[in-house]
Structures are given as structure tokens and as C-alpha cells.
A and B are shown apart, each in its own frame.
Chain A
Amino acid sequence: MLTASVLIQLTIDGITRGAMYGLMGAGLALIFGILGVINMAHGELFMLGAYTMYFATIVLGIPAPIGLLISTGVMFVVGVAMERSLIAPLRARLGSRWLIDGYVLTIGIMVVLQNLALIVFGPREFGVAAFWPGRQELGDVVISNERLLILAGAVITTGTLAVFLKKTNLGRAIRATAEHPAAAQVLGINIERIYAITFGIGAALAGAIGSLLLSTYPAYPTVGGEVLLKAFVVVIIGGLGSVWGAMLAGPLLGLIEAYATAFAPGGWQNTITSLLVLAVLVLRPQGLFSRQVTRP
């Protein structure tokens, strides 16, 4: 039965889920925009964030908000370490020809992290029912508290990232590097440092989302695969390398998925979204929200 309340319910669900996809995509887009490489290991960073959150909050009993900060910080360090130890040397050696190799390198990292997680933690799912049990009822519309928490987390994270990129010196330096690396360097920006920090931020975002979504996606070794695919969808719809595009495309994807699940028979929403992505790739490779007119 399609009533107004069902529609509102679907919309809230879609936007909440979509905001998360958007943030995953934003990390991926940030890394692509600055380093020019598609980080295939992004889903594994999500996975590591989820494990960190689980062990911080459930095993050690740390309160959830602090656990979130810890896992975000840990993933930032992991991201910087990954960039410095593996990606930077490769870029230094290959110069501008490194793009495809960088792509494949992150695939190697993905395979290693996934299977190390399998060895260390086993295939078991580590999850929580909810950090904040219970639900709110507004007339016919029912929202679980967990969902509100996730939505709040998404809004805060998006806001922080936006302020950081727009208002701080480091954020400006990152945007300058994305715009024109050589010119940024001439202006005294240490772009190697920017590369490392950007990768760290991307990883931290993935970790934060992995932590926030622990009740939806429990931590298990291959959880990253599905999430990575969503992040790809968002990044392509929003335009490769466009952080704002990804943030807009996230809720859009969430809504499409929510409505498709309600109206199309089970499973077909996957086919619908991947066809949509193909359509965007073919008709508007620069993304739906980009003002760029030349074909890439």
C-alpha cells in the first residue's frame, strides 16, 4: 500500500543510507581528484574502521562517540602509512605514467587486507544491534533511533569535511593541489604532504562510515566489496574527482535504491543502479552535476 507515510518513510531511509554512500564516495573522489588513482582498497578501509569500532566499543567498552573518534584517527594513520609506504614510491618512480599501475597496486592492497582480516578475525560477523536502541514515532512515520544517529553522523561529518575543505588553510591547499599541482607547488605547498594527508582523510572518512554503519553492515572480511561498489556508483554519478558531486549523488542513489526496493521485485534494484551508472558513463562521463562541458 502506497500511502504518504510509506513514502516519507522510504524517503528518510533512502536519504540516510544515501548520505553514507555519499561520504564513502567523497573519500574516493577526494583521493581520485588529488592523486588521480581509483582506490580499490577503499572498501577494505571501511572494513578496518568497522573492526576498530567494534573492538573499541564492544570489547573495550569505550562509549560510541569516542570509539568513532578513535577509529577515524586510526584509519587516518593507516591511510597516511599506506600512501607513504606503497603509493608514493610508485608515483615517484613512474611519474605521470603511474595511473594504471596505481589502480592495480590498490587491488593488491585490497586482496591482502581482505584475506589478512579473514585470517585474523575469521569469517564471523562482528556487529551490534544498535548503539541507541528504540524508535521515534511521528504520526504514522516510524524512525529507529539508530537511523537518526546515522543521519546525524552523516550530517556532522559532511559539514566538517565541507568546512575543512572550504575554510581551513590545509583544505585550501588540498583544493589548490587538485586544481593544478605544479602551480600549487610554486606557491609553496608541499604537495607530497598533501598527497599523504588526502589519502589519510579519505581513509578516515571510510573508517568513520564503517564505524557509524556497524549496525547495518557488521564487520566481516568481505564487507568492503559491496560498499566499494556503492561508492563507485556515487563517484561516477557525481563526476569522477568531484567531492560535492559525490555528496549530492549519495542521497540520490539512496533514494533510487529505496524506491526501487519498494516498487521492483527483489534484487532488481542492483540491475537498475548499475544500468544507471552505465548510462551516466556513456552519456555524461563528467557526471550529472558537473558544469564541465568538454568530454573527458
Chain B
Amino acid sequence: MMRSLLDSIRLPKPYEIAICALLAVLAAIPGIVGGRYVPAVFTSILLFFILGALFDFMLGYLRIVNFGIAGFLCAGAYGSALSVQYFHITPWTGLLVGGLASALIGLITGVLTLRLRGIYIGLTTLFVMETLRFTISNARDITRGASGLTVKGFTPLFDISFPRSDPLGYYYILLILVCVTYAILYAIVRSRIGLVFKAVRDDELGTSVLGIDVVRYKLFNFVVASFFVGVFGAFYAHYIGILVPTTEEFGIQRTVEILTIAYVGGRGTLWGSLLGALFLVGMQEVLRDLQEWRLVIYGLSLILIITVFPSGFAGALRGLYDRLSSLRPAVAPQNSIKGDA
């Protein structure tokens, strides 16, 4: 009796402590430091982290190369901004509208292309992105095109107001959104569906021979990812306040940024993107004076990761962890997820 009670209050595992500590740090630091700069940098880190994780959710698990992820971001951002402006919904509903707009595009794209080879998915998503971007910059009467669409900030909720002058409020909205999204992604990856994902990643033909409808799983993955990318696009719209359909914002360059973070962080891990985002966004801030050189470093780190170090930061960390735990007397082997090398 006593024994079973003792068993039930087990000590938290190291990674659980790490997650709690990390959350505490993420929640506390911008609040303690205050000002405008630190919360803005942390917002950027969180945003890139979750976009990297969503990219990884598609690439690292089902090998879906969404080369137009910035287009889905664009759909969410403009979807929310335009419906707030023309249909007078609140930005909070806008988050959902943005997510649904992006998910709808994801559903159509997915139904049409997910049964094709990977390279076709990459190209189709790329051109979905470009079509959206061109259409938005051409439809000046509605979207104000290249001159930029101004977007309202979040309206007060539960008597808390969110003025643009205070980036901390926005940071906490984002932190909550990121935690919820990450929890959902993690739950999917750890569920039976996630097992199918990994089976497809390792052997797509073999999985389909087992009678599993691979395309349906791909579609599920793609639509879920598109939805969340859209939600964060909507958040981004109300956070940043002005939308311009340029390649830096919603084109190839943004896609490359997100993709680099997922790769540098380590594919097939989801959490690796946090390391990628910390490194790349942090580096951009530290090396702000170097201007163009930071983008060279961006590209070089991508080349290095691909050629020399395919498992990224997550792989390095896991290697370190394995080495540390092998120093201690035989511990039950960790059932770690195999990185996508």
C-alpha cells in the first residue's frame, strides 16, 4: 500500500523540469527586463520557433516540403486583417478566421498535390504562395497593395487592454498561443497518428502496403499545419500593424528563414526549432551592425548543417545527453525519437 503510493508520486523526469524551467524563463525575462526591445526580440524568437516547428511538423515527419509556408502565413495575416476591416469582427475572432483561411488553401492544395512526389509539392506550394502574393499586390482597391495595409491592434479582452506601445501584452498572447499549438502538435506526434507519420517517413511504400491510406495522413498533417501557420499569420498582422506583400515578408525569403530555423534546430524533433530560432534570431540581434554579413552567416549555417551536421542543434544536444547518461550506471534506455538525418 505504502509502496504503491510512493510509486505514484514519482520524481519529475529531467526533461519535464527542463520544460518547466524554460517556460518560466520565457515568461519571466521579458517581463522583468521590460522596455520595448527585449519583449520584441523574444516575440520574434517565439514566432520563428513555432513557424519552424510547424515546418518541421510537415518536413521532419512526412517529408512534405512546404516551400510556400510564407504564403500560408500571408493567407492568415490578410485573411484576418481584411475581415477585421471589412466585416468588423474582433482581431480575436480574426485569429480563427486567419487560421481557417489558411487551412482552406491548405486543404485545396493538399487534395490536389499530396499524392504527387515531394518535389511537386514543393513547387506547387511555392506557386500558391506567389499567386497569393501577386494577387494581393494587384488588388490594390481591397488590399492597398504595395503601399501597405494598416491593421488594428488587439481589442481589450477580460478588461486587459493591448496597446501597441506595450509589446509585453502581445508577447504574452503569443506565448499562450505558442504553448497551446506546441502541445497539440506534440500530442499528435506522440499519438498513434504520429507513429504512422514516422512509419511513412522511414518507408512510405512499406506503410501503404500495410493498408494505411498515406495520402489521408499527409492531408491531415498538412491541413493542421496550415491552420496553425494561418493563426500565427493573423497574430503577426495585428502585432506588426502593417502588411506589405513583399518577398521579405510573405515570399521566398521568409520561407527560407523559417526553413533554415527548422534545419539548424534539427529536423524531426519539433523542439529543435527553439534552438534554431534562439541561435538565428539571437545572432541577428547581436550582429546587427554587420548588416549583410548576417545573411551570409544564415546561408552558411544552412550549408554547414546540410553537409556536415545534418541532425542540427537538437542532434548535438541529444548526443551530449546520451553521453552524460552513459557515464552514470545503467539507466533504462531513453526511447528517443530518431532524428531525421
A: residues with CB less than 8 A from B are: 38, 86, 89-90, 99-101, 103-105, 107-116, 118-119, 225, 229, 232, 236, 240, 267-268, 270-271, 274-275, 277-278, 281-282, 285, 295-296
Contacts and interface: CB of A to CB of B under 8 A. Distances in A.
Contacts of A115: 292-293, 295-296, 299
A258 B149 CA distance: 30
Contact of B306 (A105, A116, A232, A274): A105
A72 B245 CA distance: 35
Contacts of A236: 123, 127
Contacts of A295: 116
B310 interface: yes
A13 to B, nearest CB: 21
B120 A108 contact: no
A240 B122 CA distance: 13
B70 to A, nearest CB: 13
B130 A274 contact: yes
Contact of B303 (A99, A105, A277): A105
Give the bracket for the number of chain B residues in contact with chain A: 35 or more
B119 A111 contact: no
B306 A104 contact: yes
Contacts of A101: 306, 310
A101 B128 CA distance: 22
Q: Is the interface of A mostly helix, strand, loop or mixed?
A: helix
Interface in B261-309: 263, 292-293, 295-296, 298-300, 302-303, 306-307
A151 to B, nearest CB: 28
Q: Which of B59, B123, B310 has the most CB of A within 10 A?
A: B123
A296 B120 contact: yes
A274 B134 CA distance: 9
Contacts of A275: 131
A110 B299 contact: yes
Given A282-B124, A285-B120, A107 B247 contact: no
B40 interface: no
Given A108-B302, A111-B298, A267-B137, A103 B127 contact: no
B306 A119 contact: no
A100 B118 contact: yes
Contacts of B138: 267-268, 270-271
B63 A278 contact: no
Contacts of A282: 112-113, 124
26 contacts: A90-B306, A100-B118, A103-B119, A103-B122, A104-B302, A105-B303, A107-B299, A107-B302, A108-B306, A109-B303, A110-B256, A111-B296, A111-B298, A112-B303, A116-B296, A236-B127, A267-B134, A268-B138, A270-B130, A271-B131, A271-B134, A274-B127, A274-B134, A278-B128, A281-B113, A281-B123
B302 A232 contact: no
Contact of A278 (B127, B263, B306): B127
A36 to B, nearest CB: 8
Contacts of B134: 267, 270-271, 274
Interface string B181-209: 00000000000000000000000000000
B107 to A, nearest CB: 14
A90 B135 CA distance: 38
A110 B303 CA distance: 10
Contacts of B130: 229, 270, 274
Interface string B122-150: 11101110110011011000000000000
Given A90-B306, A101-B306, A119 B292 contact: yes
B123 A104 contact: no
A229 B306 CA distance: 24
B65 interface: yes
Contact of A281 (B127, B135, B263, B295): B127
Nearest to B300: A112
B38 interface: no
Contacts of A119: 292-293, 296
Contacts of A105: 302-303, 306-307
B135 A271 contact: yes
A230 B120 CA distance: 17
